[in-house]
Amino acid sequence: MEYQVIRSGRKTIAAQITAQGVVVRAPQRCTDKEIAAFVEKNRDKIERYQKRAIARQDSLPDEPPLTPEDVRKLVDKAKAYLPQRLQYYAPLVGVTYGRITVRNQKSRWGSCSAKGNLNFNCLLMLCPKEVIDSVIVHELCHRKEMNHSPQFYAEVRRVFPEYDRWNKWLKEHGPAIMKRMTG
């Protein structure tokens, strides 16, 4: 089985499985042998998830890929819209944040760095406003909890009670939107 390895400051080994391939995320100190053992131990599960991801990708509607001009417009729209929503939600979460960056990403909707800088995908502008707000609240809550623990999700739901509904929408419709970026 082929896979890419990305080492970082994380504490555990995990596999990120998409229709395009498998990425194993591992701690810096992890040896190649330990990573290979992890992949072998989880081979059946990884193959099963990858087959599902490929089937899901193949079943997505064929929307036209976004042109560079389309992407520029989405970035401009996001740069105008996101800061005002962040200003609204940050006090509700009880946090501050650093720099806001808008990118045209192929796999993530948003991220939060340890320094408090926030990154958002311009493709959010193709989603309902509630989805955008759910991603904003999710990233702002990472300023309190840099993980996806039960405490993290309790904070997300405290600020945005309909988070699960809109997160489900994003999981169902997001791949078709992302596919427009990847072509």
The DSSP result for 107-138, as a single string, is S-SEEE-TTS-EEEEGGGGGS-HHHHHHHHHH
Do 120 and 54 lie in one domain? The reply is: no
pLDDT tens-digit profile of 85-117? 999 999 999 999 999 999 988 789 999 998 999
Residues 31-50 pLDDT 10s:
999 999 999 999 999 999 88
Give the pLDDT of residue 58. 64
- Same domain? For 177 and 105 the reply is yes
User: Does the residue 42 lie in any domain?
Assistant: yes
Same-domain status, 20 and 40: yes
Residues 157 and 77 in one domain: yes
> How sure is the predictor about 121, in pLDDT bands with cuts at 50, 70 and 90?
very high
CATH of the domain at 115: 3.30.2010.10
Count CA atoms closer than 13 A to 168's CA, side-chain side: 4
Q: Are residues 92 and 165 in the same domain?
A: yes
What pLDDT does 57 receive? 67
Range of the domain at 117: 68-182
Answer whether residue 63 is part of any domain: no
Q: How many domains does the chain have?
A: 2
Please give the share of the chain, as a percent, with pLDDT higher than 70: 95
Q: How many CB atoms lie within 10 A of CB 158?
A: 13
29 shares its domain with 107: no
> Does residue 155 sit in the same domain as residue 87?
yes
Give yes or no: residues 80 and 169 share one domain.
yes
- The answer to whether residues 92 and 160 belong to one domain is yes
117 and 76 share a domain?
Answer: yes
Instruction: Report helix, strand and coil shares of the chain as percent, to nearest 5.
Output: 55, 15, 30
- The per-residue pLDDT for 16 is 87
Domain shared by 158 and 110, yes or no: yes
Q: Determine if the pTM surpasses 0.75.
A: no
- Cα(43)–Cα(63) distance, integer angstroms: 33
In this prediction, residue 59 has a pLDDT band, given cuts at 50, 70 and 90, of low
pLDDT of residue 110: 96
With cut-offs at 50, 70 and 90, classify the pLDDT of residue 17.
confident
Burial class (CB in 10 A: 0-12, 13-18, 19+), 114: exposed
Q: Answer whether residue 62 shows pLDDT above 60.
A: yes
76 and 156 in a single domain? The answer is: yes
